[in-house]
Amino acid sequence: MDVNLNGLTTPAEVQKGVADNTKDTVDVPATYLDKANFPGPFTAGVNQVIPYEFFAGDGMLTRLILKASDKAPWSDNGSAKNPALPPVEKLGKGLYFYEVDLAGTQGKSDKELLDLLKQNGTHSYKATIKVYGAKDGKADLSNLVATKDLTVNLNGYKSLNEMKSKMPATSQDKMMPNKEQDKTMNTSQPMATPSMKQDQAPAASSQMSDEGKMVSTNKVSSPMMADQMKDQKDMLPYTGEAQTSMATLGFFGLALAGLLGGLGLKAKKEEND
């Protein structure tokens, strides 16, 4: 049993603090990792031994391990200089040291570690908190006071610029068929108009030829149909060759009607004579 007679933090208090005050799983927001710089505090205490009182400084990854960090302010790279969170109440300075070993990243620290974490992006790491006693003002690695295993989930972050730079190639590949289709449609639509007119012209010509024949027949039976045919001719829309055929048939009809009319008058005159 440890009895604190001089007001110094006992190993038992450290052990209780590690067990009760730290999380089993830590989720690190993507923006925290993305905005972390070096020099900066983000990787302090990870894969390196530093004083225990620095465990939860502002902008540090290990700050997020403490349960108290959920309600505490955070600033990227500690720019706001928010107060550090004590891992143990009334922790004396220089009494204990700590490190958080991150599995799969051993041997890397500071900038090299930060670059690796960013490169790995979204990744789940097994981590171990280790708290050591002190000897002659330095960490005594042979005196392991407390330890705890936990999981650190780092979320990778892709900036909007990176996403935009990757989108054009993919988007262009996906959009090309639509663009080619639109190009084909735009090209074919103007060509379809004269084609349709040519296809419709024989039908219109045939229809108007029949109408011309009917008008000519009516002209033979009644000279008054000439005026009606003229009115009908004026009302017909312009249809290219069909209009010319109609006019030609109309002229032949008028000539035929005049000829028959003249022959009729001549025959009548001969009868009278």
What is the residue extent of each domain of the chain?
A: 11-157, 163-267
- Residue showing tokens 């070096």: 38
Q: Report d(CA 155, CA 132) in Å as an integer.
A: 30
Mean pLDDT of 152-156: 95
Whether the per-residue pLDDT at 114 is higher than 70: the answer is: yes
Q: Which of 8-12, 148-152, 159-163, 175-179 has the highest mean pLDDT?
A: 148-152
**How would residue 161 be classed by pLDDT, with cut points 50, 70 and 90?**
very low
Neighbour order of strands in the sheet with 96-102: 25-28, 138-154, 123-135, 96-102, 50-51
- The CA dihedral of 161, 166, 168, 170, to the nearest 10 degrees, is -150
Mean pLDDT of 138-149: 98
Contacts with 129 (C-beta within 8 Å, 6 or more apart), sequence order: 18, 22, 65, 98, 100, 146, 147, 148, 149, 150
The answer to whether the CB of 21 falls within 8 A of the CB of 66 is yes
- The DSSP letter of residue 156 is P
Q: Report d(CA 63, CA 67) in Å as an integer.
A: 9
Extract the tokens encoding 197. 């007119």
Whether the per-residue pLDDT at 74 is higher than 70: the answer is: yes
Residue 8's pLDDT is: 86
Cα→Cα distances 156→47, 66, 120, 123, Å: 20, 21, 7, 7
Residue 236's pLDDT is: 41
Query: How many Cα atoms occupy the beta-carbon half-sphere of 131 within 13 Å?
Result: 28
Residue 170's pLDDT is: 52
Q: Report d(CA 91, CA 125) in Å as an integer.
A: 28
**What are the tens digits of pLDDT across the range 3-14?**
454 568 999 999
- The DSSP letter of residue 88 is S
Residue 116's pLDDT is: 97
pTM of the model: 0.58
**How would residue 56 be classed by pLDDT, with cut points 50, 70 and 90?**
very high
Whether the per-residue pLDDT at 188 is higher than 60: the answer is: no
Q: Higher confidence at residue 200 or residue 143?
A: 143
Q: Higher confidence at residue 8 or residue 169?
A: 8
Q: What share of the chain is helix, strand, coil (3-state, %, to 5)?
A: 55, 15, 30
Whether the per-residue pLDDT at 17 is higher than 90: the answer is: yes
**How would residue 68 be classed by pLDDT, with cut points 50, 70 and 90?**
very high
Reference 19, options 64, 67, 90, 58; nearest CA is 67
